[in-house]
A and B are shown apart, each in its own frame.
Chain A
Amino acid sequence: MLKLIFVLLGFISLKAYAYPEFIAYGYSSCMTCHYNGQGGGPLNDYGRALWSAEIAAKPFYASHKDDEALGAESGFLGSVELPSWLRPHAKLRDMVQILNPSPGNQIYNYYNMQAEIGATIPIDKDEKYLVSMTWGYAPATYGIAGNQFDRWLATEYFFRGQIMEGLFAYVGLIEKVFGIRNVDHESLQRQYQGFQVCCSADGSAYSQGVVIHKVAEKWELSFNGFWGNPEEDPSLQQKGGSAMVEFDVGDKKRMGVSVMHEGNTVKAKDLGAVHYKQALSKGSSLLAEYGIISDQPLVGNNTIGSYNFLELMFKVIRGYNITGTSERYNQMFNPNSPDNWRYTVGLLAFPMPRLEFRFDVGTQRAVSTASAAPDTWFVQGQMHVSL
């Protein structure tokens, strides 16, 4: 089990920091807050203001200010207004993790998950056309042999054009479109979908490609064609396509269906998933996803399995949320194939604008009729600074 966790942590996703949980605030589309309408990546002006004025707690140094004033100070340089053609961003995210926190067995890990700078350049005032670029530091551990990275590289870049009302096209190095962009970077859901940061036969979350995104009031439809991440070895670059549709099934309740096919010279994958997002009350949400994953390696047997993902997030007070997740993944539809379960309880806190803390306690268990291994407990904390 420990080996499994180490392998998984070796491919911690650098990015994918959208918050689908914010359907709890009435935002069922990521387009509202992100330049990438599928979520993740830099926030637009509205997203920045929303974070400051509604999501994050009022900062101790500005408790007398109203939300409108906080929103007005949410720019890259605070209240200093930058020209409309320049929207810089910078992010730092670090994680400390303790595996098996009981005395005597602890394993401490530290990960620099995200260190990046970039800018979005709206070409016109209505932001119908824009270019977004992000450079990030990739630690050496992300390389195949441990030496490929340890350097800064372009982690995301895309051109966005609005073709007509509600219809957008993206071209560049961009996150693949599929399912819920769960904020937990180590969730079984994201791990086994194959959306790793780099250099896995299962594929990377980010790939050069084209996305066509139609946004309507009660539904969204996306098509994504991709041909690989140029930072990867060509043999690992997954080529393929995906599609996702989301539609409202009630007020602040949204359902979605995703499909994907991708392949490289080592492995092909087919994925299908149905997901659901619901606002429980203001600030509290439920996310759920059920998916099927078919792995077709060039060497070895094909497998087809499934996963469940369920997350509850409850807002306690403004800026402070409790999360609970239950996940399951099984590589095969076979009674003898182990179910891998992962349970977490955590705190997701935005104590002030631009700052996020996460603290999670969890356990991971393999359930099968063939063997029983001791659970792995873990405790982890994250700090995220976003300018």
Chain B
Amino acid sequence: MFRYKLIFILLLSASNCFAADAAEEVGGSNKTENVADYGSNNQFDVSFGIVSWQEQLTVNNASNSDWGSATFTGNAIGLQWQQTWSDNAKHAGLLDVEGMAGSVTATDGGKLISYQNSVSWAGAMVGYRYMYRLTPLVAFAAGPVVLARQVSYPSSGGISATSGSGANYGYQVEMRAHVIPHLMAQVSLGNLIQSAGPIWSLALSYLF
């Protein structure tokens, strides 16, 4: 819970630190037409945020199989590299590598077997997105992601459980906004394909 509040409070506390850049653009200046105002066209950023997705849970005992849901939640620390594709930096590629860890709650949704557990997980996610900057301050990004995670559900009373796939793939769309120069808010929503469901994340990143 604390991490959610921390991100929000960071967003709010950033409010006193705004440089004039954003305001000038609101005022109609053309000064901000080139993203180079915000650093080099090929730049790194480090992100910290929360991530969550769902997988389909399968539980088995000696005679039956049942199904349910596993909700993964955790923190993600990522390294992102932007490489611009055009002189004005409107088009760019974004390589995103993230390390993640958290907890998963698994519950069977059927009636044949009763199973509930909450355990830790760890994983990594790699994504490559096409990014379009509407202005130097705001951008969309979309592209495929590959996710690998390790989780082990304890067996009890002859009941075993598995969920989704250790390696999964899908897509994400993302909105990125400079809250202050060098600090960016990211909201993304997507879907994992293999026996899984929506994946979303909320992050702040610092651009070097």
Shortest Cβ distance from residue A183 to the other chain B in the assembled complex, whole angstroms = 17
Interface residues on B, range: 35 or more
- B12, CB-defined interface residue at 8 Å: yes
Would A281 and B22 be within 8 Å (CB), given that A288-B11, A290-B12, A367-B105 are in contact?
Answer: yes
Of B20, B136, B185, which one neighbours A286 at CB under 8 angstroms?
B185
Does A324 touch B at the CB level, under 8 Å? yes
Chain B residue numbers with a CB within 8 Å of A363 are: 189, 197-198, 200
A288 touches B175 (CB 8 A): no
- B145 CB–A CB distance under 8 Å: no
A372 touches B106 (CB 8 A): yes
| Cross-chain contact A281 with B16 (CB below 8 angstroms) | no
User: Is B105's CB under 8 angstroms from A281's CB?
Assistant: no
**B202 in the interface, Cβ–Cβ < 8 Å?**
yes
- Closest Cβ neighbor of A308 among chain B residues: B8
CA distance A75 to B25 in the complex (A): 30
Cross-chain contact B107 with A371 (CB below 8 angstroms) = yes
The answer, yes or no, to whether B167 is at the interface (CB within 8 Å) is: no
Closest Cβ of chain A to B178, distance in Å, is 7
> For B116, what are the chain A residues with a Cβ–Cβ distance below 8 Å?
370-371
Q: Out of A255, A290, A335, A373, name the residue touching B5 (CB < 8 Å).
A: A290
A250-B18, A286-B179, A316-B134 given as contacts; is B105 within 8 A of A368 (CB)? yes
Tally of A-B Cβ pairs under 8 angstroms? 158
Q: Chain A residues near B22: list those with CB within 8 A.
A: 252, 278-281
A276 at the interface (CB under 8 A from B): yes
Which one, B1, B52, B118, B202, contacts A310 given CB within 8 A? B202
Partner of B187 from the list A324, A330, A367, A368 (CB cut-off 8 Å) is A324
0/1 string, A317-355, CB within 8 A of B gives 1: 000001011101010010100010101110000000000
Q: Which residues of B contact A373 (CB under 8 A)?
A: 69, 107, 109
Report whether over half of chain B's contact residues are helix, strand or loop; otherwise say mixed: strand
Beta-carbon nearest neighbor of A249 in chain B: B15
Contacting residues, chain A, for B61 (C-beta < 8 A) = none
| Contact status of A282 and B107, CB under 8 A, knowing A253-B18, A314-B138 | no
Q: For the complex, give the distance between the alpha carbons of A372 and B9 in Å.
A: 28
Partner of A284, one of B52, B138, B187: B138
Closest beta carbon of chain A to B17's beta carbon, Å: 9
Inside 8 A of A314's CB, which chain B residues have their CB? 134, 138, 140, 175, 177
Q: Does B92 contact A (CB under 8 A)?
A: no
Closest B residue to A361 by beta carbon equals B189
A324–B134 Cα gap in the complex (Å)?
Answer: 15
Complex Cα–Cα for A284 and B179 (A)? 12
Report A187-204 CB contacts with B as 1/0, cut-off 8 Å.
Answer: 000000000000000000
B12:A374 contact, CB within 8 angstroms: no
A270 lies within 8 A of chain B by Cβ: no
Residue in B closest to A373 when the chains form the complex, CB atoms: B69
Q: Does A375 contact B (CB under 8 A)?
A: yes
Q: Which chain A residues lie closer than 8 Å to B138 at the CB level? A: 280-281, 284, 312, 314
Does A365 sit within 8 A of B, measured CB to CB? yes
Decide yes or no: A372 and B1 within 8 Å by CB, A288-B8, A288-B12 being known contacts.
no
- Chain B residues in the interface with A (C-beta under 8 A): 1, 4-5, 8-9, 11-12, 15-16, 18, 20, 22-23, 25-28, 32, 52, 54, 57, 68-71, 73, 103, 105-107, 109, 116, 118, 134-138, 140, 173, 175, 177-179, 185, 187, 189, 197-198, 200, 202
